[in-house]
Structure 1
């Protein structure tokens, strides 16, 4: 197993910085990836980042990570609230997984309050903006490097 952290972003996260900045802020996805890479580098780790608007592709990447990733940061976007198959894919990995949401999903519409991933991941960070990604990398680094 490598010291590689997989950072997965789901549907609509490619629009960060332009989509509902009052909810998601002005940071771009490229900025988020750079933040994760800088943070991981402090611990001697690397980041592979991927984004897709397609559920099946995210699942394929999770399956690949079963053999290669030391940890996963996942922002499933709206799939958190709808995708049992994404949850089932996350269950198959043995490395630690942290679920990240830029907005506080518990302070938003009621349908966003439940995530199918939450019961099967190591931790959840919600509502801290893109800083949540950095905190997720810190947590994974602590688990991976100890």
Structure 2
């Protein structure tokens, strides 16, 4: 009887672990779609350049996500027709969280080069792809 209970608990725990990873990957893939949608609706001319994290090491991912979230608040819609799509996309990106590994990153947002909004979003997409692969 004890073996049966132990087996059931082991089965339950392993099945929960297997279902958690695909859920996160699906969430990250949805974020990638949101970023791509935003690339098509963002104003790219006559706008403020944004600090754009690139070539990140693992301990800087959390800091980079924070930088990208701050930067997305400075993005502007290309025109009034895309305003609702743009606003929805920004809300999705604001809610995105990445667990803090506890390691400190040496660089701050201001240490990164400033780039145009479209380049900024492309770098954000690369970061999400890196998170999916890791």
TM-score if structure 2 supplies the norm length?
0.28
The structure where helix makes up a greater share of residues is: 2
Greater RCO (CA < 8 Å, at least 6 residues apart): 2
TM-score if structure 1 supplies the norm length?
0.26
